[in-house]
Amino acid sequence: MHIRSDDTVEVITGNDRGTRAKVLRVIPKRRKVIVEGVNRVYKHMRRSQRNPQGGRLSKEMPLDWSNVLLVCPQCGQATRTEARDTADGGKERVCKSCQTGIGTIAAPRTAKKSAK
């Protein structure tokens, strides 16, 4: 999964298709992402002491991560990504369109100490 929190993504399917927004949360076990202002639903709240008026609360629900594409900060296009090894042994995300690095996936490897 190459989408992280605070990335900008574009929704490619559903009612919110074409919307670009920031990722608020990633749920890797369920393969879902929560995107700001996308897939909003109303939760009906009953009156209680904590919420004396009751009413409807609008909130974002998770989207499947196959329904969003990462927006490259360099070229501004919604694009697929790939992983590329760096010279120091780490990995980074790379835009398939313009081949620029978007961010690191894995830290550089360090040399292991040999057992004596």
pLDDT in tens, 90-100: 899 999 988 88
Fold of 1-71: SH3 type barrels. (2.30.30)
**Residue ranges of the domains in the chain?**
1-71, 73-109
Residue 85 β-bridge partners: 91
SS3 20: strand
| pLDDT for residue 112 is more than 80 | no
Q: What is the reported pTM?
A: 0.79
Q: Is the predicted pLDDT of residue 109 greater than 70, yes or no?
A: yes
Does the pLDDT at position 38 exceed 70? yes
DSSP, res 51? S
Question: pLDDT for 48-72, tens place per residue?
Answer: 998 899 899 899 999 999 999 999 9
